[in-house]
Amino acid sequence: MDFWTGIEALRAKQGARIADLLTDDTRTARLRAAAGPFVFDLSKTSITGDALNDLLALAVDVPDRRDAMFAGEKINATEGRAVLHTALRGTEPVIVDGADVMPGVRDTLDAMRAFASDVRDGTFQGQGGRITDVVNIGIGGSDLGPAMAVLALAPFHDGPRCHFVSNVDGADWADTAKTLDPATTLVIVASKTFTTIETLTNARTARDWMAESVTDPTAQFAALSTAQDKTSDFGIDPSRVFGFEDWVGGRYSVWGPIGLSLMLAIGPRNFDAFLTGARQIDDHFRTAPLAENLPVLLALAGIWHHQVCGYPTRAVLPYDNRLSRLPAYLQQLEMESNGKGVTMAGDPLQGPAGPVVWGEPGTNGQHAFYQLIHQGKTPVPCEFMVAAEGSEPLLDHHHKLLIANCLAQSEALLKGRSHAEARATIANRFEGEELERQAAHRVFEGNRPSTTLIYPRLTPEVLGGIIALYEHRVFVEGVMLDINSFDQWGVELGKELATSLGPLVDGADASDKDASTRALLEQLLEWRG
């Protein structure tokens, strides 16, 4: 059946009360999947067994397309590229254009390991001695992955301190640089294309900063890029350039050279564990039946909530403070991949593609935006995640509270509180009409959907697995929607216009701009003096 016809038919199957569904004792076992160190529960959604079967039927193309991706076929059709981030953590040969890519992947990983070890044990020195700090300059996929992962794996750090500069706002560089000594800092310029204006601007500023203090301004620079001619033009010695191929998308690139800062922080062995965790999920995704396949079930929950139920956003709520950058990471992964408007054939989509993805760690969000999640009129499907154990054994009483809060939120969303229940909680304080009015404000509709991902503890392996789960989820949703999840043409127009606006900020003629832009520019220029 055509996807959108199937979605239309599924709309008639909405409306079950989640609490009623959960009275079926078999539901939690059926709407739950396990893979590697993860258990994923989607029983607190309104997906019935019948609807799940229909959703699975709409995923019929997934196995073939999945196998095509892993085999190196050029499934990124608008850019004519294979999609092989899985090869960066793979072990088996993958043939692209008649050649196995794996020897190159292994050589690059070995070079990264050797360089990271040299920096970590002091064999590679800065001009003022041992490297104490690393600054990764990159943006988007060349920043979010390593920045998120370095923070997530803080308990595993035993290398130099890592910093991340991404924004072209000079404040980002300035605030970071003032904590650093150029003579003992390694600067990594991370840019797949090595043309991104933010990254090159920050990298040039960093080079000038180095030049003020050390003899050789680029001797402590490394580059991560597919464009090795451009890294040489910048002045970075090829021995410190870690290349990758165009079949690695920016937002899928943390597994290879773009992960160098992570490898420097946690060491090659832990980085290998990170890759292993992702590979476990790759194996699961390739072999588990669709109905037990964790990324597939994540995707089906996504399709159910966005395309069937029409909920416009989805919240990612890790009860894991060190995953505080995960929502931002997933925003790029999901919204740059599936924020599309046309099918593979270029026809307008008949409905929405990816939802708005947002979130913050719990419990912080509870004291901020959960009010809307509980009582706002538009349901927000919530994706909770929590570890059985925290990484701070001496603070286990904190972790118990974290677990309790995570489970309490999904329970509250599910159960809600009726008017009668609300009234009972305040009947000793109010009466008559005032009691009714006060109670109305304390009603929770309930029946709000959520899913929960649990794992034993946040380790490199588990983090690798979480990212891979979401990568494959995005892929499955993309296949079902018949969109290209691997291009990002939507970012181009703004880049072009920024280039044309540059001279206007210097006072050039703005007459070809629209009236609003002209007026804003005029005021800004007046204030700039």
Ligand X SMILES: O=P(O)(O)OC[C@H]1O[C@](O)(CO)[C@@H](O)[C@@H]1O
User: Which residues in this chain contact ligand X in the complex, by CB under 6 A?
Assistant: 139-142, 191-193, 196, 199, 250-251, 336, 488, 491
CA distances from residue 148 to 33, 126, 151, 262 in whole angstroms, order as listed: 26, 26, 5, 9
DSSP state of 264: H
Smallest gap, in angstroms, from Cβ of residue 243 to ligand X? 13
CB nearer to ligand X: give 199 or 366.
199
- Mark 42-73 as b/e (b = at least 16 C-beta within 10 Å): bbbbbbbeebbebbbebbeebeebbeebbebb
CB nearer to ligand X: give 453 or 468.
468
Q: How far apart are CA 381 and CA 33, in angstroms?
A: 19
CA distances from residue 321 to 274, 424, 517, 524 in whole angstroms, order as listed: 19, 36, 40, 39
Among 485, 525, 481, 484, CA closest to 501:
525
CB nearer to ligand X: give 231 or 363.
231
Smallest gap, in angstroms, from Cβ of residue 460 to ligand X? 22
Q: How far apart are CA 346 and CA 485, in angstroms?
A: 13
Helix (H) or strand (E) holding 11: helix 3-11
Has 495 been annotated as catalytic? Answer: yes
Smallest gap, in angstroms, from Cβ of residue 521 to ligand X? 23
Considering the candidates 198, 245, 334, 336, report the single residue annotated as catalytic: 336
Spatial CB neighbours of 26, under 8 Å, sequence gap ≥ 6: none
Cβ(327)–Cβ(333) under 8 Å? no
CB nearer to ligand X: give 168 or 356.
168
Helix (H) or strand (E) holding 238: none
CB nearer to ligand X: give 196 or 485.
196
Residue 129's SS3 state is strand
Smallest gap, in angstroms, from Cβ of residue 44 to ligand X? 34
Considering the candidates 398, 400, 419, 495, report the single residue annotated as catalytic: 495
CB nearer to ligand X: give 54 or 198.
198
CB nearer to ligand X: give 25 or 496.
496
Residue 319's SS3 state is strand
Q: What are phi and psi of 452, to 5 degrees?
A: -135, 130
Has 8 been annotated as catalytic? Answer: no
Kindly report the number of other CB atoms within 10 A of residue 111's CB atom: 17
Spatial CB neighbours of 5, under 8 Å, sequence gap ≥ 6: none
Chain-centroid distance, C-alpha 207: 30
CB nearer to ligand X: give 164 or 370.
164
Smallest gap, in angstroms, from Cβ of residue 426 to ligand X? 52
Considering the candidates 367, 377, 397, 441, report the single residue annotated as catalytic: 367
Q: How far apart are CA 112 and CA 255, in angstroms?
A: 11
DSSP 399-421: HHHHHHHHHHHHHHHHH-B-HHH
Residue 109's SS3 state is helix
Q: Where do the DSSP E strands lie in 216-324?
A: 221-225, 241-243, 313-319
Q: How far apart are CA 253 and CA 138, in angstroms?
A: 12
CB nearer to ligand X: give 127 or 193.
193
- What is the separation, in whole angstroms, between the first and last Cα of the chain? 63
Has 392 been annotated as catalytic? Answer: no
Smallest gap, in angstroms, from Cβ of residue 445 to ligand X? 39
Residues carrying an active site annotation: 336, 367, 495
